[in-house]
Amino acid sequence: MDEMVGRVLGTVDATPLEFWVGVAEGEYLELDDVVALERVLPTGEVVKLFGTVSQVRARYEGARFDSDVFLIEDGVLPAEVIEAAQVTVTRVEPEIFVPPRPGHPVRRARGDERDQALFFDRMERKFPVGSTRNGEPLYANFEFLNGQRGAHVSISGVSGVATKTSYATFLLHSLFNSGVLGAAVVNTKALIFNVKGEDLLHIDRPNIHLDDDQRLRYAVLGLPARPFESVGLYAPPRPGSQSGVADVSSRSDITSFFWTLEEFCQEDLMLFLFADAEDERAQYTMVVFNVMAQLRKAEGVDGGAVRIEGETARTFRDLVDLIIGKVQEDDSRHDWAGPNIGLGTVNAFVRRLQGAVRHVDRLIRGDIPNPDRHRIETSGHQVTVVDLHNLNDRAKRFVVGVTVRRTFDEKEKAGQSDELLFLVLDELNKYAPREGASPIKEVLLDVAERGRSLGIILIGAQQTASEVERRIIANSSIRVVGRLDSAEAAREEYGFLPAAQRKRATILKPGTMLLAQPELPVPLVLEFPFPAWATRASEAAADLAGGGPNDPFDDL
Amino acid sequence: MKFTVESWAPEYGSPSEADLIDSSENVDPSVELSVAAWRPLTPECDPAEDILFIDGVRRVDANLWIDRSEQFPGFGLAATFAAGAVRCNGGAKVVAAEVRRGIFTGVDAAPIETSVGVYEVMSTRGSTPEELWLGIQERMGDLEGEVASGQDEASLVVVDGPLSHRRHVDRAIGYIKTQHVQYLPDALRASLATLPVGARTPIFLTTTSWSRFSWYLRLSNGSGPAGGLVRCEVKADMPVADASRLAHLVTASLPRFASARHKDPRAPQNLYPIGGLERELRRRLGDRELAIRALRSAAVL
């Protein structure tokens, strides 16, 4: 009992799950402090209770009116200040759920005791997820991430201040470098979709703003302060570019990605062009399926172009014109649009398809030689970044839908769940909204519900978990919350946060997160270090070959 | 009909009784100023910076019947009382609080050990209710004296209530909230009604069972005949000039501590530090139900 900070109060009920501690003179407790106490039962058995401080309060004892505070401060009315801390019990060892008795001394838990309080001692495979405010490492149980006992991470928070993407990349860094993956690290991959600016296109370069303090924070967590080492970068081709050069301004060594018309026709990719919520309700979905059936018959020509019923299409616009001709002409409409389809429905389909051309014609094409080099491959690098940031929503959905579907299919075929693939996707509410159905939502639901057994782990992020498909959130074992909007924080999706933490979520500063994991009844409040990799061009140390800005004459 | 509502809550009585006992024949009002020169005096000094307030509380826990061989059982009271001190020197702090438990009786008795503590025998002259009450009062006064003497010196020591039982507290000021006795002759008594806030009357000497210097002081405006008026007293064992200086100091110091009507049922006479101390002492007396239960189970054993 060398470090007694207070005693259990008797004026508030003490229960085995929650109790209040009067803080002793000259001591203090702050939110998230870890405490421990012992109770000896009449049988002689010793029960240890561990908990974290979930609320602290201070008040005047002896004051009865609000205005008494002025009298007390004037030295007229005698009163004493008392601080009390609410402790939420995290662990009872052995599991005899007795309340602590009023008056029991409470001490700060340190070292092994702290690990015990936070279940770190029970985690056989743990990886660092951040540190406390005073620099002690915090861990999560890998078994709840790798599919063994659970999988998936859901990160929520307001854009800009919640640092969701940074935290997702930090988690990847920790997973790849903490040693928790063991030998499997070689075959473990990550696929990240970059939705904001060119932020994630520099994660393979050291961050010049990383100072020694931050390096030390990495060291405390047992992680190297270095950028990602094996990174494959993909970006869409620049619009109008004949050579298909990547549409990125801050560096030039990026592979552009697109799908060939052949793939589009033979792999039913058209489905993902009609992936809006409004598409699902529309009549023309019938037409989409009929057209896809016809497209499957297309023959591939050199360089990804297709020949359909004698006509060759080399660009997406060619293909669309061809399809429009087929569904509108009386001779072919029966086969292409389907029997008994009204002209109104056909025209709705045509309008929709026409509308898509402008946004996706650079992503689906047959006019560039060696299209295989422009295929998104996750196998070549540890981390694959696919840039979406300058695509419009419809094109984003198409890329995400197709890429995730393909990855999922490959995993399903390989059937090896021990080789994990982490799929990092921000703006999940766009791809898997709570309302309605869409092909992309189906794919993501597949990932959420079956990915666990296939080794696909979703690290999803969204501003508002309340707008994301319930089953995806429900399947996430690890839930992370950054700064939340106060209306959002009140929603039931954040029921895992105790009341005080919900309030706190509305004032979290960038770099601080709340992380809930199944074993711990209280979410951990953690800080994570500043990225050791560049998160924008200006942070990148200019030391990589080919890392310079794009050559504007490249295309000529 | 024109009337005034007394500021004290009715359960505390009234700070001034309708019929005061006339005791003016034992009073010499001319020790400080001649009767002709009587006027309100405003203090000429700064308030004291270090004031000690002493007070006590008492509570009868149970009535006891003490068995006696071949006689009708003797009557006694089991009481808990406490005394404490608040020091006001920048901050107000309860610096002492002592609790005692006793059996007050005029018959032979032995201490009672209970689960809340030992009730020591505290003999009284007789066993009538008045004698028993007086016994408690005296013991509490003694305890107050004990508490006061245990404290570091202060520039002013104010004891709540008359000095009669606490005369051994050196240079203490008795602070009397209620007026039962008329000390001043009628001619001077009228001047009380017009005493301004923060002013006092000249000192008068009372020689009943013991001699003391007294003065009236108006803490604040209050309703009723006693409106904010209190009487202070010191032992008459000092020169009048000293008493006069002390009276000025008290008058300069106390109005600041006068309580507001919504905060104290005996406002403004019950001073904030004393009100706070009383609450704290009552808390320390412990739960009465628990005390009764402890006494009952001790009686059965």
**Average pLDDT of chain A?**
88
Within 10 angstroms of residue A7's Cβ, the number of other Cβ atoms is 18
CB contact, 8 Å: A82 with chain B? no
According to the model, what pLDDT value does residue A281 have? 63
According to the model, what pLDDT value does residue A545 have? 42
Asked if residue A236 has pLDDT above 90, the reply is yes
According to the model, what pLDDT value does residue A542 have? 62
**Residues B272, A71: C-beta atoms closer than 8 Å:** yes
Cis peptide before B111 (omega within 30 of 0): no
ipTM: 0.84
Asked if residue A103 has pLDDT above 60, the reply is yes
**Residues A75, B280: C-beta atoms closer than 8 Å:** no
From chain B, pick out residues whose CB is under 8 angstroms from the CB of A78.
86, 92-94, 273, 276-277, 280
- What is the DSSP pairing of strand A151-156 with strand A105-108? unpaired
Assign A268 to helix, strand or coil: coil
Q: Which of A328-332, A529-533, A546-550, B288-292 has the lowest mean pLDDT?
A: A546-550
From chain A, pick out residues whose CB is under 8 angstroms from the CB of B276.
62, 77-79
Query: What's the mean pLDDT in A179-193?
Result: 90
DSSP classification of residue A187: G
From chain B, pick out residues whose CB is under 8 angstroms from the CB of A64.
263
CB contact, 8 Å: A449 with chain B? no
- Which chain A residue has the Cα nearest residue B277? A78
**Residues B257, A64: C-beta atoms closer than 8 Å:** no
B179: β partners = B16
Asked if residue A238 has pLDDT above 60, the reply is yes
CB contact, 8 Å: A553 with chain B? no
Asked if residue A552 has pLDDT above 70, the reply is no
Q: Where are the domains of chain B?
A: 10-300
- Residues of chain B scoring pLDDT < 70: 165-168
Asked if residue A548 has pLDDT above 50, the reply is no
The residue ranking higher by pLDDT, A33 or A250, is A33
Provide the CATH topology of domain A130-257+382-539.
Answer: Rossmann fold (3.40.50)
Q: For residue A334, what pLDDT band results from cuts at 50, 70 and 90?
A: confident
Asked if residue A554 has pLDDT above 80, the reply is no
Instruction: Kindly report the pTM of this predicted structure.
Output: 0.80
Chain A: give the shortest CA distance to residue B252, in Å. 15
Interface with B, mutate which of A77, A80, A82 (most B CBs under 10 A): A77
Contact between B236 and B213 under an 8 Å Cβ cutoff? The reply is: yes
Query: What's the mean pLDDT in A525-549?
Result: 75
- The fraction of chain A above a pLDDT of 90, given in percent, is 48
Interface with A, mutate which of B279, B282, B284 (most A CBs under 10 A): B279
**Right CATH number for B10-300 from 3.10.50, 3.40.50, 1.10.10, 3.30.2170?**
3.30.2170
Picking from A426, A493, A526, the residue whose alpha carbon sits closest to that of residue A127 is: A526
- Structural tokens at position B68: 């006696």
According to the model, what pLDDT value does residue B46 have? 93
**Residues B272, A77: C-beta atoms closer than 8 Å:** yes
Q: Where are the domains of chain A?
A: 4-119, 130-257+382-539, 260-365
Q: What is the 3-state secondary structure (H, E, C) of B210-275?
A: CEEEEEEEECCCCCCCCCCEEEEEEECCCCHHHHHHHHHHHHHHHHHHCCCCCCCCCCCCCCHHHH
According to the model, what pLDDT value does residue A1 have? 47
Query: What's the mean pLDDT in A402-423?
Result: 86
Helix, strand, coil % in chain A, rounded to nearest 5: 35, 25, 40
CB contact, 8 Å: A62 with chain B? yes
According to the model, what pLDDT value does residue A279 have? 61
According to the model, what pLDDT value does residue A556 have? 45
In this complex, which of B272, B279, B280 lies closest to A76 when CB atoms are compared? Answer: B272
According to the model, what pLDDT value does residue A546 have? 45
**Residues B86, A79: C-beta atoms closer than 8 Å:** no
**A119: left (phi > 0), else alpha (psi -120 to 50), else beta?**
left
Picking from B169, B168, B150, the residue whose alpha carbon sits closest to that of residue B158 is: B169
pLDDT in tens, A306-321: 898 888 888 999 999 9
